[in-house]
Amino acid sequence: MNSSSMPTPDALRPRDDERLVFDAPASQADRPTHYCPGCHHGIAHRLVAEVLDELNVADRTILVASVGCSAFSYDYFTVDALEAQHGRACAVATGVRRANPGSVVFTYQGDGDMAAIGLAESVHAANRGELITAIFINNTVYGMTGGQMAPTTLIGQKTTTTPEGRHLLGEGGPLRMTELMAGLDGVAYAERCALDSVKHVRAAKKALRNAFEVQLRGLGFGFVELLSGCPTNWHMTPQAANRRISEEMIPVFPLGVTKNLLDK
């Protein structure tokens, strides 16, 4: 077995006839993540870091991390961060943003955190129009704790707590957070994106930028839902997980902008 090695400094330097067109963003920490192979958290982290760099706000940005697989997200950004209690990231972010009016504050939460235990805090922060940006990772399961049913679990989806599949009458239907958020007066931007393909990832970056833009302009709460894969708890390869997003998740969670006050 041959072992791998990191590239030489020369290989990472553009030659005379070359331009470096893809590099890690400066606000992303230079360290490996703890996420599973093929997990979309890494893509979402990178997109957020790219947006913070492009808006040139990283030095006054504060991340409020959540509980779940993304609990360690504070390790992966070079911005200031604090860890909220389970589900309470938007409530904590409210305090951080109000106490530091010049700051840029965002939360990074999974579906178990934001849509289950933290639904009240998230919805009320959004309804108050708090000047924060919430990034919501929807992978239809509780990832960190072993794949239990989340509020976003699809009808018929088998999880460790719905071994025969989720039933509408009994466990309820998948909660559509973007539509819920868009219905609130305090929300200035709400969009649902997916991370299953190059095209969708590029669209997600634009959405994230808009969700930070509404905060910078003082228009209200910014919200982006990212349909993400969890190959480990879906018991499939990363490739099959991507196909599941396009074939099973997007029909239930339609992509697109549901609210945008930027152009008004």
Partner 1 sequence: MSRIVFLEERCKGCRLCVDACPVGIISPSGRFNHQGYEVMTAGDGCTGCASCATMCPDTAIRVFRTVRAAEGGKA
Binding residues vs partner 1 (CB under 8 A):
1-7, 11-12, 14-15, 17-24, 28, 32-33, 35-43, 46, 197-198, 201-202, 231, 237-239, 242
Residue 18 or 263: the one with the smaller Cβ distance to partner 1 is: 18
Collapsed DSSP state (helix, strand, coil) of residue 60: helix
98 CB-near residues (< 8 Å, 6+ apart) = 130
Q: Which two tokens stand for residue 189?
A: 């931007």
To partner 1, the closest distance from the beta carbon of 44 in angstroms equals 9
Please identify, using beta-carbon distances, which residue of 169 and 198 lies nearer to partner 1. Answer: 198
Q: Which is nearer to partner 1, 185 or 247 (CB)?
A: 247
d(CA 186, CA 128): 5
Helix (H) or strand (E) holding 239: helix 238-244
CB of 262 to partner 1, least distance (A): 24
Give the pair of three-digit tokens for residue 66. 């959540």
Task: Find the helix packing angle between 41-55 and 198-216, rounded to 10°.
Answer: 50
Residue 33, phi then psi, degrees to nearest 5: -95, 165
The least distance separating partner 1 from the CB of residue 27, rounded to whole angstroms, comes to 12
Distance of closest approach, residue 217 Cβ to partner 1, in angstroms: 28
**Who's near 153: CB < 8 A, 6+ residues apart?**
140, 141, 159, 162, 166, 171, 174
Give whichever of 173 and 238 is closer to partner 1, judged by the CB atom: 238
Of 43 and 125, the one with the shorter C-beta distance to partner 1 is: 43
Nearer to partner 1, 217 or 243 (CB): 243
CB of 247 to partner 1, least distance (A): 15
Q: How far is the CB of 172 from partner 1 (least distance, A)?
A: 31
Least Å from the CB of residue 260 to partner 1: 24
Q: Is 44 helix (H, G, I), strand (E, B) or coil?
A: helix
Query: Between 24 and 216, whose beta carbon lies closer to partner 1?
Result: 24
* Burial bucket for residue 192 (CB in 10 Å: 0-12, 13-18, 19+): buried
- According to DSSP, the β-strands at 187-194 and 141-142 are unpaired
The two structure tokens encoding residue 86 = 């389970």
| Nearest Cα residue to 126 out of 196, 41, 221, 15 | 221
